[in-house]
Amino acid sequence: MNRNIAAVLAQVELPGSDSPRLDAELLLAHVLGKSRSYLFTWPQKELSEPEIECFSALLARRQRGEPVAYLLGEQGFWTLDLQVSSDTLIPRPDTERLVEVALELGPLQPAQVLDLGTGTGAIALALASERPQWQLTGCDRMPGAVALAEQNRARLALSNARFLQSDWFAALNSDRFDLIVSNPPYIAADDPHLAEGDVRFEPASALVSGADGLDDIRLIVASAPTHMNDAGWLLLEHGWQQAEAVRGLLEQRGFHAVQSWQDLGGHQRVSGGQWHG
């Protein structure tokens, strides 16, 4: 029986995956402790029995739908490699648009920046890496998420970020910020997509927000001005059909220059406004 890298990969079947070959390569490279390029450089390398058993176990979990990022324990975001766990959402490329808009609108001078519902710390750490003059605060309601974000911060050696446990603004007291960003839960409770794909394995508390998916965004928009400096921006990621509703909430609360920004797919993915207190 041929047990080399090329033969083992050729036998893989992952019918539920959109990218079965890529998934298999990432999982095997993880088992071997090597990069994907190693698989192409040494396709005839024989695998040991423990390596095959470990790879088979990971494939079985993937066949049941478990996300590759959870199986690997890591996910790339922006320019960073982040540790992930089932305590948090898996960072997605769409959210990089929120980072881009924050970098465009945020001040060039030192600033206080808040990331609400930080999860892995992805947004806060991406901003901290690009703007060393900013001080980032990331907060999350879940203790496991806060611990994971701090692990990522320490591993990346970003001293201008901190993470704390807070149910939205609850633990922030009178702190004020020049920029507030958030990728909050925004999926409606009855959305059929919650029963499909990777989201089945992600924490529902980080996905679902009431009957129309806007409960948490309503709370953030209503509460944010109390924690904003004059001319500060509030930027929110939301669902691709929610931009008009989110802009309406921002305008009703008294935000200025309210607008939306498109993602790479042409969908309005981020909305925000500027506060003049």
DSSP secondary structure letters along 9-73: HHT---TT-SSHHHHHHHHHHHHHTS-HHHHHH-TTPBPPHHHHHHHHHHHHHHHTT--HHHHHT
Q: What's the mean pLDDT in 72-87?
A: 92
- Would residue 70 count as lying in a domain? no
- For residues 207 and 157, membership in a common domain is answered with yes
Query: First CA to last CA across the chain, in angstroms?
Result: 72
Confidence label for 65 from pLDDT (cuts 50, 70 and 90): confident
Distance between CA atoms of residues 116 and 61, nearest Å: 32
- For residues 22 and 95, membership in a common domain is answered with no
- For residues 155 and 47, membership in a common domain is answered with no
Q: If you count DSSP H runs as helices and E runs as strands, how many of each does the chain have, helices first?
A: 10, 9
Beta carbons within 8 Å of 87's beta carbon, 6+ residues apart: 142, 144, 145, 148, 203
Is the model's pTM score more than 0.85? yes
Q: How many domains does the chain contain in total? A: 2
Domain that holds residue 168: 75-275
- For residues 167 and 228, membership in a common domain is answered with yes
Distance between CA atoms of residues 133 and 118, nearest Å: 20
Q: What's the mean pLDDT in 62-90?
A: 91
Q: Is residue 121's pLDDT more than 70?
A: yes
The domain boundary, picked from 65, 89, 114, lies at 65
